[in-house]
């Protein structure tokens, strides 16, 4: 498995597992647990979740899926902005730990910026790290100006990742945010890497994939993984899709294929504010 090194020195897989929309429907529970376990078996041991997903349901599902294999996985969870006060984040983290059935979360993110002062949230993250409740922290949906602001704060340099919307159809981040992060060796975590499935129906992508005898999902993921310091976290509750996604790590796109993707999905000419899903 290709890995990416976080600023703390910790190596994590470049391809992980998303969990948004998991843990919401009891009828899909066993299928989702099996998909996560299959992903872990295949080396996709970074699992991304949030207190928001299924209002705790996704964390509970993960807690069950990783029973007996805590040491194999790298758990990422996120706190709601409205819970990101000193008291709120400590309590939210404690609830996430209970649902995940673990002693510590490996990487704890602020889900998006809200009205709580960033300095209070980052100070609290540092306190949680000190207490061993989390091993590291970061942010999500932060644009370049937010990253710059965090850098000026006491614990801003502790930020280990920025998790943002990034895929072939969402390339605006390449203008300023990605160069900013790369310059500081802060990896980006690309969420919705297959645009929640919509990208997979794109005829241009399908054509490029067909010529490579690969699936559209594999090409979309291989494109993200071809870039330095990018971690992609596709969500799938289907074992077959998980295995298909895992195989994307071993696809080295040729210069011609990369150029074809660039033509089919050009970077927007002008930067725009960071998009969110
Ligand atoms: P995504 O991973 O781009 O797409 C998920 C959808 O694609 C699901 O419907 C899944 O269906 C389908 N899919 C996945 N692999 C496939 C394959 N090989 N073939 C066919 N269909 C496939 O979208 P996402 O869930 O929005 O993003 C991924 C993760 O990023 C989330 O789960 C979450 O952990 C994180 N996220 C974070 C934020 C944030 O604000 N920080 C926002 C959005 C997402 P099946 O389940 O049927 O395979």
Helix (H) or strand (E) holding 48: strand 46-48
Summary mean pLDDT of the chain: 97
Residue 217 contacts residue 198 (beta carbons within 8 Å): no
pLDDT on residue 24: 97
pLDDT on residue 166: 98
**Mean pLDDT, rounded, for 192-202:** 98
Q: Please tell me the distance from the alpha carbon of residue 60 to that of residue 56, in angstroms, as a whole number.
A: 6
Q: Which of 16, 89, 15 is nearest to 51 (CA)?
A: 89
**Mean pLDDT, rounded, for 16-44:** 98
pLDDT tens for 143-170 read 999 999 999 999 999 999 999 999 999 9
Check if 80 is active-site: no
Parallel/antiparallel/unpaired status of strands 3-5 and 11-13: antiparallel
CB of 18 sitting under 6 A from ligand 1:
yes
Here the tokens at position 254 are: 């040729």
Residue 16 contacts residue 47 (beta carbons within 8 Å): yes
pLDDT on residue 137: 98
CB of 138 sitting under 6 A from ligand 1:
no
pLDDT tens for 209-260 read 999 999 999 999 999 999 999 999 999 999 999 999 999 999 999 999 999 9
pLDDT on residue 123: 98
Buried b (16+ CB within 10 A) or exposed e, 170-196: bebbebebbebbeeeebbbbbbbbbbb
pLDDT on residue 31: 98
Residue whose CB lies within 8 A of the most ligand 1 atoms, among 22, 236, 243, for a mutation test: 236
CB of 191 sitting under 6 A from ligand 1:
yes
Q: Please tell me the distance from the alpha carbon of residue 163 to that of residue 51, in angstroms, as a whole number.
A: 15
Here the tokens at position 201 are: 């129906």
pLDDT on residue 152: 95
Residue 107 contacts residue 138 (beta carbons within 8 Å): yes
Report CA-CA distances (Å) from 23 to 3, 43, 53, 65, 230: 28, 22, 8, 11, 27
Q: Please tell me the distance from the alpha carbon of residue 49 to that of residue 233, in angstroms, as a whole number.
A: 10
Residue 86 contacts residue 120 (beta carbons within 8 Å): yes
pLDDT on residue 23: 97
């Amino acid at each position: 498995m290709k890995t990416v090194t976080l600023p703390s020195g910790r190596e994590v897989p470049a391809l992980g597992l998303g969990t948004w929309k998991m843990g919401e429907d009891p009828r899909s529970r066993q299928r989702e647990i099996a998909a996560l376990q299959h992903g872990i078996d295949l080396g996709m041991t970074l699992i991304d979740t949030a207190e928001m997903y299924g209002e705790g349901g996704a964390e509970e599902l993960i807690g069950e899926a990783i029973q007996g294999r805590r040491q194999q996985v790298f758990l990422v969870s996120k706190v709601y902005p409205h819970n990101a006060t000193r008291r709120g984040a400590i309590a939210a983290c404690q609830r996430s730990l209970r649902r995940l059935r673990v002693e510590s979360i490996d990487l704890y993110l602020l889900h998006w910026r809200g009205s709580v002062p960033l300095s209070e949230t980052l100070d609290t993250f540092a306190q949680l790290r000190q207490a061993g409740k989390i091993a590291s922290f970061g942010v999500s949906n932060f644009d370049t100006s937010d990253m710059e602001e965090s850098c000026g704060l006491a614990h801003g340099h502790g930020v280990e990742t920025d998790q943002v919307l990034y895929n072939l159809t969402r390339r605006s981040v390449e203008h300023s945010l990605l160069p900013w992060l790369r310059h500081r060796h802060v990896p980006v975590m690309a969420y919705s890497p297959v645009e929640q499935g919509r990208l997979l129906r794109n005829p241009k992508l399908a054509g490029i994939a067909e010529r490579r005898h690969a699936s559209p999902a594999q090409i979309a993921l291989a494109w993200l993984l071809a870039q330095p310091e990018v971690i992609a976290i596709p969500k799938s509750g289907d074992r077959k899709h998980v295995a298909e996604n895992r195989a994307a790590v071993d696809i080295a796109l040729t210069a011609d294929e990369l150029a074809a993707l660039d033509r089919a999905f050009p970077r927007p000419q002008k930067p725009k504010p960071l998009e969110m899903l």
